[in-house]
Amino acid sequence: MRRPGWNELFFDLVFAAAISQLSSPLDADYSFHGVVKYAFLLCLVFLAWFGYTTFATQFAVDDVLQRALIVAQVFLVALMAANATGPLSSRDAAGFGAAFGGVRLILALQYARVVPLRSSGVSVVTRIIDLVAAATIWIASAFLPAPARYGAWMVALVVEIGNAWLPVRTTTALPPGAAHFPERFGLLTIILLGEFVASVMRGIETQMGWSVLAASAAFLSVALGFALWSCYSDGANGCETRLVRSRRDVIRLRIWVALHFLLFLGIGVLGVGAHHAIALPPGASFHAGEHRLFCFAGAAIIAVITGIAATSRSRAAGRPAAVWLAQGIVSMLAITLAVAGYRLSATTVILLMLLCFAAQTTFLIMNHSETCPSEA
């Protein structure tokens, strides 16, 4: 079983830094509008990471030229991060899209190097064509004014999504590494939770005093991050081996990947919310809009992790429906907290959200099958 290499770990850290940079404008505009912009930029960063991750798990290429291409990708990702702070109508945002187009061109070059391999087949050539087509649109969009640029972005994004979801036959013929692929996702989840803790630390730095309530908000936020990881790793078994041998396996894997993007989005929104909560005066409450965002992000993460668990091969279809119902009730309680708990102090809200994650983890563990289905 191949494990992630040092080059891949370095690559993940660079993307974590880029995602951390994306959180700066969200921190300044913690609203629905700010989340929409954050989601769009995060989608491109995620696609850039996902593209190389898929390539690396399919083809174990590690030579001087490959490392040079990785360095070029890292540089372009740094350009993406540097251009992520302005509004979408700005030239900075145009540069963000153009840099992403450059990342896709490099990925096309990486795939072009493996075309001579018999195992690659026609699917790799098709993927190269799609990558070049999308990259051309992204780069050309930088020269368009803001309204027209948005249309070009949408077209390019549709091409990207179609390129990411290869035909079922292609995916089963050239599947990602059954153990390597999930481990990469798990490592990025850990790194993003590290950014969650970094947000907590920034909140602590902005505290003028260190009262019991202020310390409680910080401690509970760190505990919330740990509970989130426990819910993902212990409850949902998010990093389990995932073999792709049939159409059902492909569909399950695609749902699993999409849910991970939503998980990463939720972690970012929840982390900024924790920063804001800690920065409040001791015992103070969120503003109404911030309260809803924080609670809806927590509820969405709980639902997403439940979905990740449902895609697991280690789940038994015949488990008691009451356990699944209890998991749904936990998500609904988190949503109810978003609607009805806006007068509670931020510290209390974090505590209740922590209890929701703890309960969900318990139910997920209860819903583990006694034995995993055979992978043979």
Q: What's the average model confidence in pLDDT over 120-126? A: 70
Mean pLDDT (whole number) for 162-174: 66
One domain, residues 144 and 202: no
Residues 282 and 199 placed together within one structural domain of the fold: yes
Q: In this structure, is residue 131 part of a structural domain?
A: yes
Same domain for 127 and 227, yes or no, is: no
Residues 73 and 118 in one domain: yes
Highest mean pLDDT among 187-196, 206-215, 246-255: 187-196
For residue 357, tell me if it sits in a domain. Answer: yes
Domain-located, residue 362: yes
52: containing domain: 6-173
Q: Residue 149: CB partners within 8 Å, gap ≥ 6?
A: 94, 97, 141, 142
Number of domains into which the chain is organized: 2
Q: Lowest-confidence range among 9-23, 35-49, 235-249?
A: 235-249
233 and 131 in a single domain? The answer is: no
Is the predicted pLDDT of residue 206 greater than 80, yes or no?
no
Query: Which of 127, 154, 153, 134 lies closest to 142 in space, CA to CA?
Result: 153
Q: Does the residue 373 lie in any domain?
A: no
- Does 272 share its domain with 141? no
Same domain, 215 and 66: no
3-state secondary structure of 167: coil
Based on the fold, state whether residues 119 and 19 are members of the same structural domain: yes
- Residue 174, CA atoms < 13 Å, CB-side half-sphere: 22
Residue 376 resides in a domain: no
Note whether 127 and 11 are same-domain residues.
yes
124 vs 294 pLDDT, higher one: 294
pLDDT at 372: 40
Torsion of the alpha carbons at 213, 215, 221 and 224, rounded to the nearest 10: -90
**Roughly what angle, to the nearest 10 degrees, separates helices 64-82 and 91-113?**
170
Q: For residues 190 and 161, state if they share a domain.
A: no
270 and 325 in a single domain? The answer is yes
pLDDT tens-digit profile of 144-158? Answer: 888 889 999 999 988
pLDDT in tens, 72-100: 998 999 898 888 888 888 888 889 999 99
Examine residue 300 and state whether it is found in any structural domain, yes or no.
yes
State residue 205 phi and psi, 5-degree precision.
-65, -30
Long-range Cβ contact pairs of 85-94 (< 8 A, separation 24 or more): 85/21, 85/24, 85/25, 86/25, 87/37, 88/37, 88/40, 88/146, 88/150, 89/146, 94/141, 94/142, 94/143, 94/144, 94/149
- pLDDT for 286-328, tens place per residue? 888 899 999 999 999 999 998 898 887 665 445 567 777 777 8
Of 173, 189, 212, the residue at which a domain comes to its end is 173
Both 51 and 192 in one domain: the answer is no
- pLDDT computed for residue 259 by the predictor: 94
Domain boundary among 138, 155, 173: 173
pTM comes to 0.87
